[in-house]
Structure 1
Amino acid sequence: MIDSAWFYRQLEARGGSVRDLARFLELDPSSVSRMLRGERKMSAEEQDGIAAYFGLPLADVAARRKGETTGFSEPGQEPFAMGSEMEMVRAIRPEHRSGGRTSPQGSDTSLSFFERIRSKMAGTVTVMPGVDLTEPADPDWARVYDEDHDKTFRF
């Protein structure tokens, strides 16, 4: 479901109206109004045009178009800021690191991507006591992976 409130806030912040956006997209104002209320689907071309009109990254508009902005986080959990593409490259590839400079979001680029997300993932998965995640769910299927098992199946 589209995040209508976000789109209307963007229009207000820009000092625009649905009619201005419709003129920019070369669409009928009622069509744009229905689209922003979720009564009509937004096409890829319209999504591109809206991103250009707002001056925002396409990914922001695409996320709000579907109304899903939390990614993998749970409700109430702090979202993980990925940063720019170059920040991701520096975080994952040590040869591109920049001597421990901090990014604009305040995350330390000298840490690996996995070190940065570790604290963000805390508390997202709960394993009940006595549950072994490495135990095969189907013991017969586990025999296929045993070294001494012949590789033929018998039904």
Structure 2
Amino acid sequence: MTLIDTIRQALQSPGKSQRGLARAMGLDPAAVNRMLKGERQIKAHELTAIREYLGLPPAEDLPAPTIPRSPGASPGQTEPPGLPGWRQPPAFAEEFAMVPVYDARASAGPGAINTDAEPVCFSAFRWEWLRRVTQAPPDQLAVIQVAGDSMEPTLHHGDHVLIDRTVTRWTRDGLYVIRYAISDELMVKRLLWIPSSRTFSIRSDNPAYGNTDGVGPDDLSVVGRVLWLGRNIG
């Protein structure tokens, strides 16, 4: 029996419900529903709340949590395809956050980060590092791919960037994924605020590309702030 099976069984007890479990965990019912389908990771502090609400035994006596169901897996499947029987170590959820990777490109034409679609995979980031750069929950983060060379040498074509989607407005000068109203493109650019004109300057790090100055706050929307980049070598 898996941990999810144990939780489902305990929810059948009188006075217990998914809505009550959601309140105890500090989550919305939809997130708990995804968790019970094996599509959402159970964090260490959430397991404590689950145990207390459902009256489950100590964590060491429970089945180890499994990773979220991979895209393409059958309903209820929590094992990565091709790795039957694989179980993440008990300490995995305490050490790593699983961040969704979406099939979206910045600077690659019209489009949006469609978080209603299934992620193509998940990337593991250490909680210790993640909490130094953001307080956003993993499902409000996203990894997407960069297209084009307008941000070289900082970002190269094919790089992956981690973005914080809770940042939906400019907070300080830096790299952001934005949508510019004129082109309606999803772009990763350096965004600078010009106090004297109360406008933004959208900058490309590659000098071969021009900058766009005098952009009013209503002419762009911030999709997220870039926190990290990943690059293949060779």
Q: Same fold (TM over 0.5)?
A: no
The structure with the greater share of residues assigned to helix is 1
The structure with the greater share of residues assigned to strand is 2
Larger Rg: 1
TM-score scaled by structure 2? 0.25
